[in-house]
Amino acid sequence: MTEFELINRFFARSTPRARLGVGDDCALVRPDAGLELALTTDMLVEGRHFAAGAAPRALGHKSLAVNLSDLAAMGAAPRWALLALGLPTVEEAWLEQFAAGFFALAERHGVEL
């Protein structure tokens, strides 16, 4: 089953309060008149999106870059990002490098975590 088949079968719903719902690069919501927000999230999976043992700095960069790319595809200007990690163990040196890659890109684009 492809990504879009999965979305259409299990997650496509009417979104009367959103201009564009699930299934595109970003959802577009209008919380107030004259204000539109583009929302996106991408999960990176070891073995599918990056190799085991990938450099943590590069992975931190990529974890933000994939979402900035979705926003750019929608013509949106990035302002904020959310970050969620699923880690089998906490290694401070790894996290330090991951954060360095993430924040280097965030600062370049004026994005706050």
3-state secondary structure at position 50: strand
Report residue 24's pLDDT band, with 50, 70 and 90 as the boundaries: low
68 and 52, same domain (yes or no) = yes
Residue type, 40: T
20 and 71, same domain (yes or no) = no
61 and 93, same domain (yes or no) = yes
Residue 65, domain CATH: 3.30.1330.10
31 and 80, same domain (yes or no) = no
Q: pLDDT (tens digit, 9 = 90+) per residue, 96-107?
A: 999 999 999 999
35 and 50, same domain (yes or no) = no
81 and 96, same domain (yes or no) = yes
Q: Which domain holds residue 77?
A: 41-113
Q: Answer yes or no: pTM beyond 0.95.
A: no
